Structure 1
């Protein structure tokens, strides 16, 4: 983990704990690397709902709601994966990764073409990255950028209100 990735993960962990946020990830390109990194955050068991790795397009469609025919290396795909994960994990924020790690082009996209998607209850969006280097460097840079994106969007979210399971039942009973 790089020094900036450590700092971003520390900031992410603090924001999640302080604001009572629930986070998740959906990965294609990074093959579980993002979930592994986020899961290493301080007290992650309290705020990291989990992640899903989906390489096959049919799994992305069936589990995460990707619209059939969507280019798997596109802004639309990244946003749909993040939105699907947000629903699947009942989270406050989700980030997704998709793209071409290399070393060869894929689907008409050059190696290093990466899309990060994000989703919250307020909306969804994406970030396009044009990375250089070998496959390992592209994956590492993608994970680092995705952690930074999670922290950025966590900063904009207010503390979570009463919701989910027992918390919701307890709050309803006390009113």
Structure 2
């Protein structure tokens, strides 16, 4: 049932972006490419999806997406500031109108001082960047799937 809702959300986001002549890109840590994979399941996605960057390692977050190295060293990757920089980095690197980003802790162990289920998602566009902190439950797969659904849903809300 969850997969059907996700595909539906992805279809709606792709249609909305296409209707507005906008493009999208992703920067993913926690989800490891699942967001962009979900988007490209939609026929016609190639008209709006520019690409995605999977950045698990701190040095990749910094060197590829421009996340501040001092921020990563001081606070780790699981926070509001990092997810915002990831979303903006996706926009910049992929030259897209909208950037989606995910970071967090899917488990099995806590990370960066945060418990399992702590997730941050962000949506960046020409008007700025909005981010949200989530407290998700379930196993690793459930947390990652809920993150995909949430970031796509928040992008739909932001686009109005």
- Name segments (4+ residues, structure 1) moved above 4 Å: none
* Unaligned residue ranges in structure 2 (runs of 5+): none
SS of match in other structure, 2:32: coil
Q: Provide the residue aligned with 2:107 in structure 1.
A: 102
Aligned residues: 155
Q: Provide the residue aligned with 1:5 in structure 2.
A: 6
SS of match in other structure, 1:2: helix
Partners of 2:124 and 2:130 within 8 A in 1: yes
**CA RMSD between the two structures:** 1.2
* Unaligned residue ranges in structure 1 (runs of 5+): 156-175
Displacement, 1:6?
Answer: 2.6
Q: Residues 86-125 of structure 1 correspond to what in structure 2 (within 5 A)?
A: 86-125=91-130
Please, what TM-score do these two structures have when normalized by structure 2?
Answer: 0.92
Q: Does 1:151 align with 2:152?
A: no
CA separation in 2, counterparts of 1:30 and 1:103? 14
Please, what TM-score do these two structures have when normalized by structure 1?
Answer: 0.85
Q: Does 1:81 align with 2:82?
A: no
CA separation in 2, counterparts of 1:89 and 1:33? 17
Q: Does 1:44 align with 2:19?
A: no
Computing the radius of gyration over CA atoms, which structure comes out larger, 1 or 2?
Answer: 1
